[in-house]
Structures are given as C-alpha cells and as structure tokens.
Amino acid sequence: MQDKVIAQFEQIQGQVNKQLDDAKVEGIRILKELGANVETEELTFSEVVSDIREANPSVKEFVRSLNVATYDNRFRANWNATMGTALAKLNVEKAYVRNIKPRIAEARETVTAQVSNLKDLTEKAQDKAQELRAKIAS
C-alpha cells in the first residue's frame, strides 16, 4: 500500500515538474515577445520591466504585444478547460452509471415490491372487513 502511494506521489511530482518546466519556457517566450532580454541567466525584475517599457513605449503598444504574446496560451487554456470539463462530465456519468443508477434501480424495485405487498394486505384487510360486516349484519 505504501509503495503504491509513493509511486503515485512520484508520478504526480513528475507531472507537476513537467508543467512547471513548460510554464517557465512559455514565460520566457512571452517575455521575449514583449521585448525583454531574457538571454542572461540572472534576471532582475527591474531589468525585465525596463526592457519591456523600452520595447513598448505606449500602453496601447504594450497591450497589443501582450495580446499577441499570450494568444496561444489563452487559446490553450480555453481548450484545456473545455476538455477538462468534458472529461469531468464523462467521469461523473460513468460513476453515475456504475454506482448510483444501480442503487436507484434497487431502491425503486424495493419500493415497488413494498407498495405491492401493502396493496395486497390492504385488499385482504378490506375483504376481511366485508366478511365481518356480513357476519355482523346476519
């Protein structure tokens, strides 16, 4: 059990590290498109901001550059959200069919059987009541 948990943790950690690496690459690409010089290993925030300001002298140019630089990321995020939602819906439907639907069917059958038994008992009680009325009346 512990080995299984450790293996799952390592798998998740590997996925997270891959996503962080991908995010770093995308971040550097976006900064380059905005005009920052990110070729050096040691980047300071103030240098990046001054490079971006120099490459985009007006707010309008900065917004346009930002829009162009992040278009692929926004499209990918929208796609991932759509596919993630579809996958979650599919998994919920599978779980419903596998777990909940049989329970509902079983409960329905139980209730139907109990109602049928109650109906039979009611009819028998009515028949006995009529027999008693008939005996009392005679």
pTM: 0.54
Please tell me the distance from the alpha carbon of residue 49 to that of residue 53, in angstroms, as a whole number: 6
Residue 132: alpha-carbon gap to chain centroid: 65
Residue-by-residue pLDDT tens, the chain, 138 positions: 778 888 888 888 998 999 899 888 898 899 989 998 888 777 788 888 999 999 999 999 999 999 999 998 899 889 999 999 999 999 999 999 999 999 999 999 999 999 999 999 999 999 999 988 888 887
Q: What is the dihedral of CA 128, 133, 135, 137, to 10 degrees?
A: -170
**3-state class of 13 per DSSP?**
helix
Question: What are the pLDDT digits (tens) for 20-47?
Answer: 998 888 988 999 899 988 887 777 888 8
Tens-place pLDDT, residues 56-66: 999 999 999 99
